Chains A and B, each alone.
Chain A
Amino acid sequence: MNDMMKNLHLSETELESVLIGDAAPASAAHLADCGSCRTALAEMEAPLAGFRAVTLAWSERRSATMPLRDLDAARRRAAAGLRQRFALSTGLAVALVVGVAIPVLHRTAATETGTNHTAATAEAVSASPASPASPASPDEQISHDNLMLKAIDQELDSRAESPVSLGLQPATRSHQSYASETQD
């Protein structure tokens, strides 16, 4: 079996699998015994190892010759950013508290006022002598409404400014007639 594997050698794909770190156990076993495949693998790996070494040399040189120019400034920026974030979050928290507190207080006050108003209304309604509990029939309802309208008219008339109180003469007969005609 080993002789056969040595004669077959690993294919390019198998060698590439070894390179990428996905070697099959059989390939690893073959490599351990086959110098030819080890040489082939080393040849495949050489450009990659060279690239790794050259690029590391480049980056080390660049890192050594070019210090992190903005690191301190960036630290300060980061600290300033933290302070800004703190100030912003504090402001937002205050705004949130105020924004929540004002409507809540307003609602509480409105509720108290509404309760008083409702209570007062209920008292007024219950104390009103003109408010029947419930009309017995439509005719009674109509008569009740008429009475109520009449009472409203009287109330309005009593509140109207009297011409006499304003220093004017009482309306003449013709004027009263005109008024009644126009009302008709």
Chain B
Amino acid sequence: MSQVPAAGRVASELDDIDALVRTYRARLLRFVAFSIGDADLAESITQDCFLKAYNGRASFRGDCSVNTWLTSIAMNLIRDQQRLQKFRFWRQARATAIDVTDAASFLPSHETSPETRILAKEKAREVQAALEHLSPNQRTVFLMRFIEEMDLSEIAAMTKMPINTVKTHLHRALKSVRAQVGGAR
């Protein structure tokens, strides 16, 4: 398949902001929300992200997926927020913190048994708690790998880190999370 039709298809996808929002909002919101730990602020950043993407759609070269492109925009917006010191990650975000325990009840019931949902809820709560103890870089690469399911080269390109640095952050993050979740052997 040639690159031009794919790029054209992506360009038309970006032209329809409503379709863009419908398709990617949930995933983007999840990445932002669990990066910053504040649901309301995550909504605002997600919204800004879509507007920025829509206004800057001409600059999209089609050399990555739309989801990856949106995630990189979101990551920059999160960094801008960090620089502006408008909030501090996790510790000061309790007012609108994400209640993942409540989130577990949203799991589709026809796909999971009650026991599985309870277990998933408990483990998800533990993983969320473990995220609080990661450094921002560790948290970002952790979410990109295990939430967005990106491969190492994509993460390295988006974070502008050498791939070995990404691996180091991922190993440390995973060890830290597993130690707190109780999965370490």
- Which residue of chain A lies nearest to B32 when distances are taken between CB atoms in the complex? A59
Contact call A40/B185, Cβ cutoff below 8 A? yes
Q: Indicate with 1 or 0, residue by residue over A12-34, a CB within 8 angstroms of chain B CB atoms.
A: 11001101111000000000000
Known: A16-B174, A20-B174, A54-B120. A70 touches B27 (CB 8 A): no
B26 touches A63 (CB 8 A): yes
Closest to B122 in A: A50
Instruction: Report the count of interface residues on B (CB-CB < 8 A).
Output: 48
Q: Flag whether A56 is at the interface (Cβ < 8 A).
A: yes
Given A20-B174, A71-B47, A12-B185 contact (CB < 8 Å): yes
Q: Which of A41-49, A99-107, A132-140, A163-171 contacts its partner? A: A41-49
B42-81 contact mask (Cβ, 8 Å, vs A): 1 or 0: 0100010011000100000000000000000000000000
Contact B145–A20 (Cβ < 8 Å)? yes
Inter-chain contact B25/A54, CB cutoff 8 Å: no
Contact of B183 among A47, A52, A60, A61 (CB under 8 A): A47
Which of B39, B50, B124, B174 meets A54, CB within 8 Å? B124
A-B contact count (CB 8 A): 119
Q: Known: A48-B127, A53-B120. Contact between A59 and B174, CB under 8 A?
A: no
Are A20 and B152 in contact, CB atoms less than 8 angstroms apart?
Answer: yes
Q: Which residues of chain B have C-beta atoms less than 8 A from A70's C-beta?
A: 47
- Asked if A55 and B103 sit within 8 Å, CB to CB, the answer is yes
Residue of B nearest to A15 (CB): B185
**Chain A: interface residue total (CB-CB under 8 A):** 35
Partner of A62, one of B39, B51, B126, B184: B39
Q: DSSP class of B's interface residues: helix, strand, loop or mixed? A: helix
Closest chain A CB from B24 CB (angstroms): 10
CA distance A52 to B100 in the complex (A): 11
- Whether, in the assembled complex, A78 has its beta carbon less than 8 Å from a beta carbon of chain B, the answer is yes
Asked if A74 is an interface residue, CB under 8 A from chain B, the answer is: yes
**How far does the Cβ of B170 sit from chain A's closest Cβ, in whole Å?**
4
Contact A47 B181 (CB under 8 A): yes
> Which residues on the A side are within 8 Å of B98 (C-beta)?
58
Contact indicator B27/A59 (Cβ below 8 Å) = yes
8 Å CB contacts to A: which residues of B108-152? 108, 119-121, 123-124, 126-128, 145-147, 149, 151-152
Q: Does B7 contact A (CB under 8 A)?
A: no
Alpha-carbon distance A75/B147, docked complex (angstroms): 30
The answer to whether the Cβ of A96 comes within 8 Å of any Cβ in the partner chain is: no
- Please give, as numbers and ranges, the residues of chain B lying within 8 Å of A66 by CB-CB distance: 43
Once the chains are docked, how many angstroms separate the CA of A21 from the CA of B102? 31
A37, chain B: closest CB distance, angstroms: 12
A80 located at the interface, meaning its Cβ lies under 8 Å from any Cβ of chain B in the complex = no
Further 6 A-B residue pairs, CB within 8 A, beyond A20-B170, A51-B147, A59-B25: A52-B147, A58-B33, A61-B106, A63-B25, A71-B47, A71-B51
A-B contact pairs, 11 of them (CB 8 A): A16-B171, A19-B174, A20-B174, A47-B127, A47-B177, A51-B100, A52-B147, A54-B100, A54-B120, A68-B21, A75-B51
What residues of chain B have their CB less than 8 Å away from a CB belonging to chain A?
A: 17, 21, 25-27, 29-30, 33-34, 39, 43, 47, 50-51, 55, 98, 100, 102-104, 106-108, 119-121, 123-124, 126-128, 145-147, 149, 151-152, 167, 170-171, 174-175, 177-178, 181, 183-185
By Cβ-Cβ distance, the 5 closest A-B pairs, closest first, are A58-B103, A50-B120, A57-B106, A59-B30, A54-B124
